[in-house]
Amino acid sequence: MRGFLAASLEVLEVALVTVGAVFLIRTFLVQPFLVSGASMVPNFANGDYLLIDELSYRLRAPTRGEVAVFHYPNDESTFFIKRIIGLPGERVAIRDGQVVVSNAEHPQGETLQEPYLPLATQTNPRPGGKNEYELGPDQYFVLGDNRSASFDSREWGVLTRGEIVGLTRIRLWPPKSFQAFAAPQY
């Protein structure tokens, strides 16, 4: 009986440590995310299973070109995935099918070269929408890679840093599309 009790306590101890470790990892480090919809095609497809890094953005600010998961500003229970285009303090303009970013380094504006998009992709404002967006000190402008089918900052406005959950790091599913991601260099 004494041996059975000792073995049971050991199994319980291992189970508690395991549950605690999984809780800490899911809460502070990595979160799974399932892509729903076509707004990020061709880079992310409906049904892709991703791992989201929740730690990086606690240690540094998001950078241009990274793909982030965030709470939709108009419904915090809904999560979106989009690419970060505009950074705090910048002006983002949509002109002639291109994205132009103005900041201290490029006060006249710089047309973004977006190598992750299919050739000839056009970025257009939404009907009745704005062509320019001034970003405050804690605001980001995000766009889907499938510009014609993305519900993004062109329609609902800018995103605050507090709404960003994490950075897309790895695609786990489907297996033939397994990939680790890094931010593109502009």
The domains found in the chain, sorted by start residue, are: 2-180 (2.10.109.10)
| Options 8, 36, 39, 176, the catalytic residue | 39
Residue 67, beta-bridge partner list: 83
What span, in angstroms and rounded, lies between the C-alpha atoms of 182 and 186?
A: 12
Q: Is the pLDDT score of 28 beyond 80?
A: no
3-state secondary structure of 175: helix
φ/ψ region of 136 (left if φ > 0, alpha if ψ in -120 to 50, else beta) reads beta
Apex 59 CA angle, 57 and 62, nearest 5: 35
What's the pLDDT tens digit per position in 98-138?
999 988 888 888 998 888 888 888 888 877 777 889 999 99
Whether the Cβ atoms of residue 108 and residue 102 lie closer than 8 Å to each other: yes
Q: Is the pLDDT score of 169 beyond 90?
A: no
pLDDT at position 27 is 53
DSSP state of 126: P
pLDDT at position 109 is 86
What span, in angstroms and rounded, lies between the C-alpha atoms of 105 and 121?
A: 26
Burial label, 169 (beta-carbon count in 10 A; 0-12, 13-18, 19+): middle
150 catalytic residue (yes or no): no
Could you give the percent of the chain with pLDDT greater than 90?
A: 32
Whether the Cβ atoms of residue 69 and residue 80 lie closer than 8 Å to each other: yes
The pTM for the full model equals 0.80
| Options 56, 77, 82, 130, the catalytic residue | 82
82 catalytic residue (yes or no): yes
